Structure 1
Amino acid sequence: MRILVAEDHRIILDSLALLLSTIEGVEVVSKHTNGRQVLTRLEIEPTIDLVVSDVQMPIMGGIELTLQLRARFPHVKICLLTVADQPEAIKEAIRAGADGYVLKSAERSELETALNTIMRGNKFYSEQVLMQLAHDTGLEITTDPDKPQKIAITARELDVLRLIAQEFSGTQIAEKLFISPTTVETHRKHLMQKLGVQTTVGLVKYAIKYNLI
């Protein structure tokens, strides 16, 4: 796993690069202090697998970097590492196309799990991030720009949806939320009915498309 690291505070940048280099299978190729430097490096280093980036940086921050990666280097994954745990900041990152969102308070093991999860083609959000989103209600989606609609999704259904997106099984979701597997399946069916999808894959795609996670 070949990684570029972006962080504008030099001490944190060096510490993060050192930490990442201790993870099995990880090679830290280079360190940068803003998103523009990352893009320049990618022009000459096309075999990069993943970028670990802070959100707030001078010249070009993590959100803009994410948008640029999706447009210019869609094969490169990006994990945002930040102190920002506000729902709006998280949803902005998801809308931009971030593959992961990890808080800087995370332990090494969580960061390692995040990188491995992302490289398998899945999304990863810190548990604290999911909790913040779970408390953010009143989500609105628009399937037709001229006909906005609000779908009533309960906080518990959002909990289930986000764990489904993290690829937890029904039993695992039940254990995490302290409910029965039957209740999890009921929530899953209700979500499918409300969102108009036929499969779990469709449920997750719909949720990501309309910024519900």
Structure 2
Amino acid sequence: MEPVKIVIADSNELIREGLKSVFAQEDSVEVVGEVDNGSALVKLFSEWKPDVVLIDYMATSFRTEDIKAIHNIYPDKKFVAITEFAKKNLIQRALEAGISGHVLKSCSKSEIVDSIKETHLGKQFFCGKILNELDDQEIKTGQLSCDPISLSSREIEIIREIAQGKTNKQIAEELHLSAHTVMTHRKNIMNKLGINNTAGIVIYAVRENLISPNRYLFNS
């Protein structure tokens, strides 16, 4: 199988070198270029033709508009954001621009590598801290059901899948997410509900009329 071709877009040379050393240990990923500003990324993109761009859009020399400009021309290409911190309004702008994944620079090496592989396969990949910010953003903009625990629309969707007895892998495939993202959602759901097993998730969902007890079956 051909390696995933990536470009690293970050204004910090030390960060770029560190990421290159991480990917140098991975046969499944090949770094074909690096840039320190958005103008260079847009200019050189057609020459490099990467599968995935790993970009810090919060850096001073990059903008979410750079992502959008490239995504409009090459809609099949994937963008994974990698930033120092999670700021919900900026994450939302990046999502609107076309990113498929978002991790933090504090994430583990394996998590960063997985974000590249999963988005290349057409899935979404978000680390736990980013997911928490996305949920907060959904709450702020009212994109939730009337559930008093403030579950996000995605979490409610995953609850319904869990109630059908589906595994994390099956849910990931159906919703076009990574198994890691589904597992993080599942953990967040349990934390919010104060429970520690699948049966508890479904019992809560039935009680709150999120699902029909006559339609869904589950294994505890």
Identity over aligned pairs, percent: 19
Which of 44, 48, 51 does residue 45 from structure 1 map onto?
A: 48
Which of 15, 18, 29 does residue 21 from structure 2 map onto?
A: 18
Give the SS at the match of 2:81. strand
Give the Å deviation of 1:156.
4.7
Give the Å deviation of 1:84.
3.0
CA distance in 1, matches of 2:141, 2:147: 8
Residue correspondence of structure 1 range 57-206 to structure 2 within 5 A: 57-61=59-63, 63-136=64-137, 137-140=139-142, 152=146, 154-158=148-152, 160-161=155-156, 166=177, 177=190, 178-182=195-199, 184-185=201-202, 187=205
> TM-score, length-normalised on structure 2?
0.69
Distance 1:52 1:181, change over 3 A: same
Give the Å deviation of 1:21.
2.3
* Residues 29-78 of structure 1: per-residue CA shift (max 9 Å, x gap): 111001221222222233x10100111334542x1222112201112111
Q: Report the more deviating stretch, 15-24 or 109-118.
A: 15-24
CA distance in 2, matches of 1:192, 1:167: 24
CA distance in 1, matches of 2:12, 2:74: 25
CA distance in 2, matches of 1:15, 1:162: 37
Whether 2:49 is the aligned partner of 1:32: answer no
Unaligned 5+ segments in structure 1 are 142-149, 194-213
| 8 A Cα contact 1:66 1:98, kept in partner | yes
Aligned equivalent of 2:163 = none
CA distance in 1, matches of 2:186, 2:7: 37
The CA RMSD measured in Å over matched residues stands at 3.2
CA distance in 1, matches of 2:68, 2:10: 17
| 8 A Cα contact 2:32 2:48, kept in partner | no
| 8 A Cα contact 2:56 2:62, kept in partner | no
CA distance in 1, matches of 2:179, 2:148: 19
Unaligned 5+ segments in structure 2 are 159-170, 213-220
Give the Å deviation of 1:83.
1.5
Letter in 1 for 2:45: L
Give the Å deviation of 1:167.
5.3
> TM-score, length-normalised on structure 1?
0.71
CA distance in 2, matches of 1:135, 1:57: 23
* Residues 78-126 of structure 1: per-residue CA shift (max 9 Å, x gap): 1010023122122221122211111111110110121111111111111
| 8 A Cα contact 1:79 1:102, kept in partner | yes
Aligned equivalent of 1:200 = none
Give the Å deviation of 1:155.
4.7
| 8 A Cα contact 1:160 1:187, kept in partner | no
Q: How many residues align?
A: 182
CA distance in 1, matches of 2:178, 2:149: 19
| 8 A Cα contact 1:35 1:57, kept in partner | no
